Structure formats: C-alpha cells, structure tokens
C-alpha cells in the first residue's frame, strides 16, 4: 500500500470516527443491558480504568466529546498497527 493510500484511508477513518460516533446509540450494549436486568451491574467493579470511559473525553460534556474519543481511538489504533507493521516488515526482510 502506498503512502498516499494510507493517508487517504486515515482521513476516511477520522471522518467516520468523528462523524459517525455522533450517530451511536445511547442505549447500553448487550452485556451491559443483561447486567442491568439481572442486577449484576450494580455489584460489578472495574478491573482497570479507561482513559475514555463510555466513548467520551472526561471534562467535555457535548457532542464534541464523542467525536474526540472516536478520533483518539482511531489515531491510537492506527499508530499501534503502523508500528507493528514496521517491526514485522523488518523481521521479514532479514
């Protein structure tokens, strides 16, 4: 894949993450819903804390918070996979 293609797909991913996140459902997912119905959700504790809990940026209470969380998620995922692909490319060229 060329650098131009990578850049193009990255722009598309940012637009989708920043824009489509505004259309995300505010209803809980299946596991959370089942936990609420069985009463388990009230006794559960977090194993780890999240830097972007519930797909929002702490301290920002608006539609912008969800968009920023989506964009940050895409950027981090892209960075991890780019680093991994470079490491694997170096190993395969040896």
pLDDT, tens digit, for every residue of 24-57?
A: 767 767 888 888 899 888 888 888 888 888 888 8
Q: Is 24 left (phi over 0), alpha (psi -120 to 50) or beta?
A: beta
Q: Quick check: 24 and 66 in contact, CB under 8 A?
A: yes
Mean pLDDT of the chain: 84
Residue with tokens 């995300």: 24
Q: Quickly count: other Cβ atoms within 10 Å of residue 56's Cβ.
A: 18
Is 26 exposed, middle or buried (CB count within 10 Å of its CB: 0-12, 13-18, 19+)? exposed
Domain ranges of the chain: 1-21+64-93
* pTM of the entire predicted model: 0.67
Question: Given a cut of 90, is residue 84 above it in pLDDT?
Answer: yes
Name residues whose C-beta falls within 8 Å of residue 87's C-beta, 6 or more positions apart in sequence: none
pLDDT at 61: 78
């Amino acid at each position: 894949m060329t650098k131009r293609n990578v850049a193009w797909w990255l722009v598309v991913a940012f637009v989708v993450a920043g824009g489509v996140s505004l259309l995300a459902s505010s209803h809980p997912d299946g596991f959370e819903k089942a936990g609420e119905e069985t009463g388990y959700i009230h006794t559960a504790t977090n194993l780890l804390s999240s830097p972007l809990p519930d797909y929002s940026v702490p301290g920002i209470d608006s539609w912008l918070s969800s968009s920023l969380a989506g964009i940050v998620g895409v950027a981090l995922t892209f960075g991890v996979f780019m680093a991994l692909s470079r490491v694997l490319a170096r190993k395969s060229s040896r």
